[in-house]
Structure 1
Amino acid sequence: MADSLLAKLGDLTFTAEEQDAVVVTPDAVAIPAEDFASSLVGKVVSPPTVDGSQLIRKFRSIQKDDKVLSISEINPNFFLISFASPANRTNVLKLGPWNFQKYWFALEQADPNWTIHDYSFLHMCIWVRIHNIPLSLMTAALARVLRALVGKVIMTDTCCVI
C-alpha cells in the first residue's frame, strides 16, 4: 500500500496558481516582542491531556481579569498567558508552584523566538521546610549542608538558625 501511495504522490502536479510562493514578513503577522515581557508559557505536566478550557476558567478565577489579558491553549496541555504588566507576570511566578487536577502546571517566561519544543519545564521553585531539627544542630553550618542538597537555592529564611 505504501508503494502505491508513493507512486500516486509522484504523479502530483500543481497548477500555476498553486505554484506561487507565499511570502510573509514576520513584522506583519507576529506578536510584538515587547508583549512577551508580560507573558508566560505554561504546560500541564501530565500523561493525560487535560481540558484546556477548564484550566483557563480556573486560572481566571484565581487571577483577577484586570491582571490577565489572555490565556490561549496553543497545543494540548500547553498555554500562552499574557498579563497586563511584567509585575503581574512576576507575581504569578512568585505564588507558584501551580498545579491543576493534581498535576504540575509549569510556567516559564515566554520567549518570542522559541517554539513550543524549545521549552523544557525541567525546573520548578518549591518551598522546603525541615521540621524537628535538634536545637544543637540548628546552625548556619547545617543550613549550608542542607542548601547544597536541594539544588539551586533562591532564598533562605534563617530566622531560626542559631
Structure 2
Amino acid sequence: MESKVLERIQHIKLTTDEDEAMAIQLVQRDKILEEFSLSLIGRFLTKKPINLRAAKSLLRSMWKLGDDLKIIDVGEGLLQYEFSLESQLMWVWNNGPWCFDNHLLALRQWEKRMSFRSVTFLKQPFWIQVWGLPFDLINEEAGNDIGRSIGELVEVDCKAFKSNQSRFLQIRVEVPLNKPLRRGGPMISLEGVTTKGLLV
C-alpha cells in the first residue's frame, strides 16, 4: 500500500491551481530542528523482510538506551533514531557499524530538508584492524596512509600505542558501500619493503 502511494506521488500531474505553493509557517521551528538534530536515519541493507520489532528491541538493548531512544518508521524502509542526548547519538555513530540478523544497518546523520526521496547511503564508517605489519609500521602515520588507501580516513586509534598492545593497527575508515570490503593487500614502506597485511 505504502509503495503504491509513494509511486502515485511521484507521477501525479497537478493542475495550475493545485500547483500553487502552500506557505508553511511553523511557530516552533527552532525546537523541532533541535529535536531532529539529535537523529540518525538508517536502513537495513537487505531486500529480505526484516522483523522490525525484534530489530528495534535488539538495538535498544545493544545501545543501552531502552525507552530513551525513539525509533520512528519514516517510510521506504527508513527508520529515524531519535536520541535524548548528543552523547548518546555520538556513541552509536562512533561505535558502529551495527547489524541485525547479518544485515548491515547503514546510518547517516539527519540533515535539514531530508526526505525519504533524498536519503542515500553511499559510504559507511567501519573500524578496521590491520594485522601482519612490521613492528615499526604500527604507528599513527602508517595508519593514516593505510586508511586513506582503503577509503576516507576518519581516525586512527592511538590508544593502543599508549597501552601494552602493538599487535595490530586499528583505523576507522568510511568505505564505499558499492564495493566489497577489502580483505588485505600488499603495503610498501619507504624503503621499498613489501608486506602483506590482513584487514579484519
Give your verdict on TM over 0.5. yes
- CA deviations 1:21-67 (Å, max 9, x no partner) are 9x673527988111111111111111213122221122222232253
The alignment partner of 2:107 has SS state of strand
Is residue 105 from structure 1 mapped to residue 105 from structure 2 by the alignment?
yes
CA distance in 2, matches of 1:139, 1:123: 26
- AA in 1 matched with 2:65: K
Instruction: Name the structure with the higher strand share.
Output: 2
Is residue 67 from structure 1 mapped to residue 50 from structure 2 by the alignment?
no
> Is the 1:41–1:78 contact (alpha carbons within 8 Å) kept by the matching residues of 2?
yes
1:131 counterpart residue number: 131
CA distance in 1, matches of 2:110, 2:38: 8
Instruction: Name the structure with the higher helix share.
Output: 1
Is residue 95 from structure 1 mapped to residue 95 from structure 2 by the alignment?
yes
CA distance in 1, matches of 2:88, 2:114: 22
CA distance in 1, matches of 2:152, 2:41: 22
1:1-162 matches, cutoff 5 A:
25=24, 27=26, 32-62=32-62, 63-65=64-66, 67-68=68-69, 70-135=70-135, 138=138, 142-157=142-157, 159=161, 160=166
Q: What is the deviation of 1:141?
A: 6.6
> Is the 1:39–1:80 contact (alpha carbons within 8 Å) kept by the matching residues of 2?
yes
- CA deviations 1:74-115 (Å, max 9, x no partner) are 225310111111221111111110111111101111124111
- AA in 1 matched with 2:104: W
CA distance in 1, matches of 2:109, 2:36: 8
- AA in 2 matched with 1:116: F
Q: What is the deviation of 1:138?
A: 4.8
Q: Radius of gyration: which is bigger?
A: 1
Q: What is the deviation of 1:71?
A: 0.7
Higher relative contact order (Cα pairs below 8 Å, separated by 6+ residues): 1
The alignment partner of 1:58 has SS state of helix
Unaligned runs of 5+ in 2: 1-17, 170-200
Unaligned runs of 5+ in 1: 1-18
CA distance in 2, matches of 1:74, 1:138: 44
Question: What is the aligned length?
Answer: 141
Relative distance call for 1:55 and 1:137 in structure 2 (3 A) is: closer
> Is the 1:49–1:77 contact (alpha carbons within 8 Å) kept by the matching residues of 2?
no
Relative distance call for 1:100 and 1:24 in structure 2 (3 A) is: farther
Percent of residue pairs identical: 18
CA distance in 1, matches of 2:47, 2:129: 29
CA distance in 2, matches of 1:126, 1:49: 25
